[in-house]
Amino acid sequence: MVRNLEKSQAASSTPIEWIRGDALVLDDVMRAADGVSVIVHAVNPPGYQNWDKLVMPMLENSIAAARSVGGARLVLQGTIYNFDAASHGVIDEMTEQDGNSRKGRIRVEMERALRAVSAEVPVLILRAGDFFGPGAGSSWFSQAMVARGKRLKRIVNPAIRAGHSWAYLPDLGEAFAMLLDREAELLPFEVVHFEGIYDDTGLVMTGGIRQAVGRKLPVWSMPWWLFRLLAPFGGFPREVAEIIPHWKYPLRLDNHRLLTLLGAEPRTEPFDAIRAALSDLGCS
């Protein structure tokens, strides 16, 4: 479901049926959900603004739509922001959710709401780290580490001497599809963790970028101090400052439930994933 129907149709080369609508309008969501067995809730507030006012109404519309078609499974991309990074080195599906950032608390509220309705609307949450790869319009990889569409002069590494979890988007998408193919094995409220690429030294991603472009590019640190300085003024700097702990402390996802269901996690070699991501961004 999209607002700019013509732009979405022009950008798509696959046989997708696009429906004009607004995730905040219940009738639009109900119309889009007619006859489906799975609803992927993957919407953000316009301009990434007003999360506290808009996120839950959008989710409630998706829940209502899933209920209206007889209990379609509602799918949500889970995040690591549900957790206090300073308190957990490894998280699994049973780890207490104690996120303390604004978006983290909203994410916790979303998952609690989904658990509450899962007896009538089955839920699948696949949690992963920061995603990157072809088709990822915005990510830490494309908007912080490298400069899109340019010959790279440097790499900016957000990690602060700590491990970090990355999810290569094609692998993550494949995991979603494989899990949905096993509907009969899924719990009514199913939470699965995707381990992805765990960069335990902070050097896997930077080393892969250097290898892909064939140059020993200088690595700069992310200017986190600037976001801390501007955070009191609110807006984007405040939100970025709140997630600094996720780059300062290691947080790894335990994927034992995924392995139980699938046997193995879809996983592209890190160098191949990084090379494909850079190619998609037009970086050299």
- What pLDDT sits at residue 201? 87
d(Cα 178, Cα 245) in Å, to the nearest integer?
Answer: 32
Q: What is the pTM of this model?
A: 0.92
- What pLDDT sits at residue 48? 73
Domains annotated on the chain, with CATH: 72-281 (3.40.50.720)
Side chain identity at residue 115, one-letter code: R
Q: Which of 24, 47, 22, 48 is nearest to 102 (CA)?
A: 48
- What pLDDT sits at residue 6? 53
Q: Which of 155, 263, 164 is nearest to 219 (CA)?
A: 155
d(Cα 106, Cα 99) in Å, to the nearest integer?
Answer: 9
Q: For the chain, which residues score pLDDT lower than 50?
A: 3, 5
What is the separation, in whole angstroms, between the first and last Cα of the chain? 34
- What pLDDT sits at residue 12? 55
Side chain identity at residue 73, one-letter code: R
- What pLDDT sits at residue 10? 54
- What pLDDT sits at residue 9? 52
62-74 tens-digit pLDDT: 999 999 999 999 9
- Alpha carbon of residue 163 to chain centroid: 18
- Give 72's DSSP letter: P
- What pLDDT sits at residue 176? 97
